[in-house]
Chain A
């Protein structure tokens, strides 16, 4: 760590001056305050496990912690020596010790294991650590999973993650460590454990998936089947906080469909409909994603449920989203098992759209100019507020100088280099924008839409 760098020179000096180092150790043992501050580095330089163990065993104060830290940083001749050191430290991981001792003992143990890995010892240490851990030890456990997760097996990880379920929103540092740990585990064969942990932890609504930012990003942008599995799992739980986390998980990603090759789980018919209701309830504003979940269920559903899910695809999904969702539905190929049902939903949707146009322009129904002006002004104010908010949160805009080009389609900027030479930077201007499709009922029947979403969100499993 960078904080250790200034002491590197001192450690080197100790290595080169054994007699001075020995005096310092003696002074520390005798209780000298200044010597105690440098004890860790002197012990590390001595690379004398026995002396360090002596401090650990005899001095129930900061010198014990220095001894543990030094023990973790020493070089051992072989696994047997390392095992001896581990054995001493293991005793201090036990619940009979205080939280600081346990934390340092665990951290130092895994420093030793880093060089002399012993899966049995690792499992044993974690088993000891997870018994009544304090906040500091929990951080150390998270750190262990983060730093050593790749070498740990499920027997060690499961109890660690179980212990880490106790972490609350106030432990931001530990949460960051857990997030890093989970993110690391996703790359391994421990995906199931990560999803289990998140599912269990987010069941309580005091944390959301945004507390696990890097894990969430990896889940949302990584393997689509894995994402589908966790979305389905959380929706099927019927638990509202988990449903909200589905929304949170997909918030920053584009509205996109799960591929036709996505494997849907085998579910009882009632669960298939339940899942579709939940998908509509929570992913209504991600219509393509939502429709693709419905379609994935149509693929595996029996005739009766297929018809019912097809009805849901039409109403409320295709009724509300005549743009992207409809385009997605049109991409379903004829060889897809969902094709017939989706086609029927599309036909109903077309009839609905034709019906909408049937009345044409009825001048008597149009809002007055005054009303239109008020609405436009209101929309303008809303959009402006949203833009200002987005700009204030933009990392990029806070770093760069901003130019506002009022006219033209190209810009020429004269820049003076540090050597005084002037050059012209030319830039072609391109338009960029984003669009969002609002559900039709947001205007036609907002209360009904709100009611529908709430009913589906709150629906309980039969």
Chain B
């Protein structure tokens, strides 16, 4: 296990990646972290500052200067970002001026943190530096990868709080990274167990940190093996699990617990975005401009795989954009907001490139892929994306849907089992089609947007289709109810209200009105903890992850 963490620590690529787990690690070890890493602000050489007990039992101030990877001649003293200049800053500036008054009488330990090892050729220089600058008040300590790995095992992942069986699940998840389904299953088992066992405030904080650090470890390993599929799926799960741990403290209970778990949640959100963009920015988006390139990269003999993967990617792209939009709302800095806005606009634009160059995205194979369609439409709507492109996309979708249904082709079906999808349509008969299209959340979604776009032609086609071939189909949408807060957290499907038999008409006005009235009448959506605390993307993440329809409250104002 230690080897696993050791390898993880040495594989961290950015200094920020080590920063991201260190505060949680220290907190879990009993340190009081009073200064966390920040970007763009002068920190006088200190990345993290904390107060805690040293090995000798004495309470001291610990000042951490963090470098990634091995400590080499160049990372020791070759540039302004090297360790030695940082240590000089700590000695010259931080200690004399920045230590909070309440800690000024405490002794100081300057910790040299790096994920790897100290190379031998630099050890002499470091030892010399430490000897020259050590005093009764100031001492130095080396926190290399080995020490950090030991601390991880001693702290947040120690055996008393993470039993062997859970560790085994975690190790299996890491080992099975190239089998994302298996890795996910093991990791999910671990998170379920951690959440179930977390009964006290501190245990809940710890569980959140354990899941977050576990995800980091998994992600770094996955990144090294060039396959971040499992960590992506797990990152969605982790967000929902941490939210589950947080909900009891929203508006009640100890504020410190709320704050601590919220802090982990925000880090987990950032990690989720990091994982998502690792895949999108490096492997998908550079190729969306090339026709059929992404669809071909699925490397399959079945159109089913292409369809499922493409809609999955579209959903990830949309969700990433929506989380970035949420971050924009939270960010106080104008420059960062501008950058994020540009990034979201780009995601919306490349989404359409992805669609136009991979035409399987013009018609889902499963009705539940309406979730991905809705997410992307919401992204386009919220980011001021190109409505003409959205209109063209849905117009083509209606044309294909009509043809596929009428000709018993590969129309969207209600089946979720992969085996059923591979043989769909199993029969080209009315009886089979009736079974395969027993209900739809896709049709009302598309119809509502077509109504907003004023596309009478498409609406007429849909109306005819629903009146003839799909007369039996229950046209429906879904809105959360008072039990949905828990349902979203647990991944249950046993909550919410289905709006059934929605009217599909030539103008779509009746549909939009019916949905709007239902949204206005229901107060449960606004009462959801994620909505009350403005963490609205949590609901969208839950919808995507647990395959629940996106509540129309997210898009009804875009179409009415």
Interface residues of A (CB under 8 A from B): 319, 352, 355-356, 358-372, 374-376, 378-379, 440, 442-448, 450-451, 454
Q: Is the CB of B181 within 8 A of A368?
A: yes
Taking a contact as CB atoms closer than 8 A, the residue among B178, B181, B294, B303 that contacts A363 in the complex is B178
When each residue 407-423 of chain B gets 1 if its CB lies under 8 Å from chain A and 0 otherwise, what string results?
Answer: 10110000000110011
Taking a contact as CB atoms closer than 8 A, the residue among A352, A371, A374, A447 that contacts B363 in the complex is A447
Considering only CB atoms and an 8 Å cut-off, how many residues of chain B contact the other chain? 49
Kindly list chain B residues whose C-beta atoms are within 8 Å of the C-beta of A319: 291-292
Kindly list chain A residues whose C-beta atoms are within 8 Å of the C-beta of B400: 447-448, 451
Give the docked Cα–Cα distance between A319 and B229 (Å).
Answer: 30
In addition to A365-B294, A367-B305, A375-B422, 20 A-B residue pairs with Cβ atoms within 8 Å of each other are A355-B287, A359-B284, A362-B283, A364-B279, A366-B299, A367-B302, A367-B309, A368-B180, A371-B305, A375-B302, A378-B302, A379-B301, A443-B301, A446-B303, A446-B410, A447-B409, A448-B359, A450-B404, A450-B409, A451-B400
Taking a contact as CB atoms closer than 8 A, the residue among B179, B226, B306, B358 that contacts A368 in the complex is B179
Total A-B residue contacts, Cβ distance less than 8 Å: 132
When each residue 280-309 of chain B gets 1 if its CB lies under 8 Å from chain A and 0 otherwise, what string results?
Answer: 000110110011111111111111111001
Give the docked Cα–Cα distance between A379 and B302 (Å).
Answer: 9
Give the docked Cα–Cα distance between A355 and B291 (Å).
Answer: 7
Known: A363-B229, A445-B359. A358 touches B283 (CB 8 A): no
Q: Is the CB of A359 within 8 A of B423?
A: no
Q: CB-nearest residue of chain B relative to A375?
A: B302
Give the docked Cα–Cα distance between A370 and B184 (Å).
Answer: 15
Q: Does B228 have its Cβ within 8 Å of any Cβ on chain A?
A: yes
Q: Is the CB of B300 within 8 A of A364?
A: no
Q: Which residue among B292, B360, B403 has the maximum number of chain A CB atoms within 10 Å of its CB?
A: B292
Give the docked Cα–Cα distance between A372 and B180 (Å).
Answer: 14
Q: Is the CB of A359 within 8 A of B229?
A: no
Known: A447-B403, A448-B400. A365 touches B299 (CB 8 A): yes
Known: A355-B293, A358-B287, A444-B292. A364 touches B409 (CB 8 A): no
Give the docked Cα–Cα distance between A342 and B70 (Å).
Answer: 58
Known: A371-B305, A444-B360, A447-B404. A358 touches B293 (CB 8 A): yes
Give the docked Cα–Cα distance between A375 and B421 (Å).
Answer: 10
Give the docked Cα–Cα distance between A365 and B280 (Å).
Answer: 11
- Minimum distance in angstroms from B400 CB to a CB of chain A: 5
Q: Does B376 have its Cβ within 8 Å of any Cβ on chain A?
A: no
Q: CB-nearest residue of chain A relative to B357?
A: A355
Give the docked Cα–Cα distance between A159 and B410 (Å).
Answer: 49
Q: Does B362 have its Cβ within 8 Å of any Cβ on chain A?
A: yes
Q: Is the CB of A359 within 8 A of B362?
A: no
Give the docked Cα–Cα distance between A369 and B418 (Å).
Answer: 12
Q: Is the CB of A448 within 8 A of B299?
A: no
Q: Is the CB of B403 within 8 A of A450?
A: yes
Q: Is the CB of A358 within 8 A of B290?
A: yes
Q: Is the CB of B410 within 8 A of A445?
A: no
Kindly list chain B residues whose C-beta atoms are within 8 Å of the C-beta of A358: 286-287, 290, 293
Chain A contact residues, majority secondary structure: helix
In the complex, the 9 A-B pairs of residues with the closest C-beta atoms, listed nearest first:
A355-B290, A363-B227, A359-B297, A364-B229, A359-B287, A367-B305, A375-B302, A445-B359, A444-B295
Q: Does B27 have its Cβ within 8 Å of any Cβ on chain A?
A: no
Q: Is the CB of A374 within 8 A of B419?
A: yes
Q: CB-nearest residue of chain B relative to A442?
A: B303
Q: Is the CB of A440 within 8 A of B419?
A: no
Taking a contact as CB atoms closer than 8 A, the residue among B290, B300, B363 that contacts A375 in the complex is B300
Kindly list chain A residues whose C-beta atoms are within 8 Å of the C-beta of B299: 361, 365-367
Kindly list chain A residues whose C-beta atoms are within 8 Å of the C-beta of B283: 359, 362, 364-365
- Minimum distance in angstroms from A328 CB to a CB of chain B: 22
Q: Is the CB of B290 within 8 A of A366?
A: no
Give the docked Cα–Cα distance between A360 and B180 (Å).
Answer: 19
Kindly list chain B residues whose C-beta atoms are within 8 Å of the C-beta of A454: 403, 407
- Minimum distance in angstroms from A435 CB to a CB of chain B: 15
Q: Does B232 have its Cβ within 8 Å of any Cβ on chain A?
A: yes
Kindly list chain A residues whose C-beta atoms are within 8 Å of the C-beta of B418: 370-371, 374
Q: Is the CB of B298 within 8 A of A445?
A: no
User: Can you identify 24 A-B contacts, CB atoms within 8 angstroms?
Assistant: A355-B292, A359-B283, A359-B286, A359-B294, A359-B297, A362-B297, A364-B232, A365-B283, A365-B298, A367-B300, A371-B300, A371-B302, A371-B305, A378-B302, A379-B301, A443-B300, A444-B292, A444-B303, A444-B358, A445-B303, A445-B359, A446-B409, A447-B410, A450-B410
Kindly list chain B residues whose C-beta atoms are within 8 Å of the C-beta of A359: 283-284, 286-287, 290, 293-294, 296-297
- Minimum distance in angstroms from B393 CB to a CB of chain A: 13
Known: A362-B283, A367-B300, A375-B300. A443 touches B403 (CB 8 A): no
Give the docked Cα–Cα distance between A369 and B283 (Å).
Answer: 21
- Minimum distance in angstroms from B207 CB to a CB of chain A: 28
Kindly list chain A residues whose C-beta atoms are within 8 Å of the C-beta of B410: 446-447, 450
- Minimum distance in angstroms from A451 CB to a CB of chain B: 6
Kindly list chain A residues whose C-beta atoms are within 8 Å of the C-beta of B522: none
Kindly list chain A residues whose C-beta atoms are within 8 Å of the C-beta of B306: 443-445
Kindly list chain A residues whose C-beta atoms are within 8 Å of the C-beta of B279: 364
Q: Does B399 have its Cβ within 8 Å of any Cβ on chain A?
A: yes
Known: A363-B178, A363-B229. A375 touches B287 (CB 8 A): no
Kindly list chain B residues whose C-beta atoms are within 8 Å of the C-beta of A366: 298-300
Known: A365-B297, A368-B179. A445 touches B229 (CB 8 A): no
Give the docked Cα–Cα distance between A361 and B299 (Å).
Answer: 8
Kindly list chain A residues whose C-beta atoms are within 8 Å of the C-beta of B301: 375-376, 379, 443
